Amino acid sequence: MRTVAAILRELFGLFVDDGALAILALLVVAIAALLAVGLHADNRITGAVLVAGSVASLLFSVFKAIRKNGS
Amino acid sequence: MTTIWATAAPAVSASFLASLVEMVEAFTIVLVVGTVQGWKPALSGSLAALLLLAILIAVLGPALGHIPLHVLQLVIGVLLLLFGLRWLRKAILRAAGLLALHDEASAFAREDSRLRAAAARDERHLDWIAGLAAFKAVTLEGVEVVFIVIAVGAGRGLVGWATLGAFAAFLLVLAAGLMVRGPLTRVPENALKFVVGIMLSAFGVFWTGEGLSVQWPGNEATIPFLVLLFLVTGLGAAGLLRSKARSAA
* Domain residue extents for chain A: 16-69
- At residue A25, the pLDDT reads 94
Rounded to the nearest angstrom, the gap between the alpha carbon of residue B65 and the centroid of all alpha carbons in its chain is: 24
pLDDT band at B42 (very low <50, low <70, confident <90, very high): confident
When pLDDT is averaged across residues B176-202 and rounded to a whole number, the result is 81
Our CA-based measurement puts residue A5 at a distance from the nearest CA of chain B, in whole angstroms, of: 11
For residue B63, count other CB atoms closer than 10 A to its CB.
Answer: 9
Our CA-based measurement puts residue B1 at a distance from the nearest CA of chain A, in whole angstroms, of: 30
Lowest mean pLDDT among B123-137, B156-170, B189-203: B123-137
Could you tell me which residues of chain B have a Cβ less than 8 Å from any Cβ in chain A?
78-79, 81-83, 85-86, 88-90, 92-93, 98, 132, 135-136, 139-140, 143-144, 147, 201, 204-205, 208-209, 212-216, 226, 229-230, 233-234, 237, 241, 244-245, 248
Of B82, B208, B245, the CB nearest to A16: B82
pLDDT band at B116 (very low <50, low <70, confident <90, very high): confident
More confident residue, B41 or A29: A29
Of B82, B214, B241, the CB nearest to A15: B82
What percentage of chain B exceeds 70 in pLDDT? 91
A53 near A43, Cβ under 8 Å?
no
Question: Are residues B201 and A16, on separate chains, in Cβ contact within 8 Å?
Answer: no
Domain boundaries, chain B: 9-239
Residue B197 has pLDDT above 70, yes or no: yes
Considering the entire predicted model, what is its pTM?
A: 0.80
- At residue B124, the pLDDT reads 63
Look at residue A54 and give its three-state secondary structure: helix
Q: Give every CB contact of residue B137 below 8 A, 6+ residues apart in sequence.
A: B25, B26, B28, B29, B30, B49
Look at residue B112 and give its three-state secondary structure: helix
B184 near B176, Cβ under 8 Å?
yes
pLDDT band at B192 (very low <50, low <70, confident <90, very high): confident
The closest alpha carbon to B21, from B163, B145, B147, B178, belongs to: B145
Residue B68 has pLDDT above 90, yes or no: no
Lowest mean pLDDT among A9-18, B18-27, B213-222: A9-18
Measured in residues, chain A has a length of: 71
Could you tell me which residues of chain A have a Cβ less than 8 Å from any Cβ in chain B?
3, 6-7, 10-11, 14-18, 21-22, 25-26, 29, 32-33, 36-37, 43-44, 46-47, 50-51, 54-55, 57-59, 61-63, 65-66, 69, 71
When pLDDT is averaged across residues B151-176 and rounded to a whole number, the result is 83
For residue B209, which residues of chain A lie inside 8 Å, CB to CB?
Answer: 32, 46-47, 50
Alpha carbon distance A19, B226 (integer Å): 24
Residue B155 has pLDDT above 80, yes or no: no
Residue B123 has pLDDT above 70, yes or no: no
- At residue B234, the pLDDT reads 92
- For chain B, the average pLDDT equals 83
pLDDT band at A70 (very low <50, low <70, confident <90, very high): low
For A12-66, write each residue's pLDDT tens digit.
777 777 788 999 999 999 999 999 988 888 888 999 999 999 999 999 998 888 7
The closest alpha carbon to B166, from B53, B8, B15, belongs to: B15
Residue B1 has pLDDT above 60, yes or no: no
- At residue B2, the pLDDT reads 59
Residue B3 has pLDDT above 60, yes or no: no
When pLDDT is averaged across residues B95-100 and rounded to a whole number, the result is 78
Of A17, A51, A62, the CB nearest to B229: A51
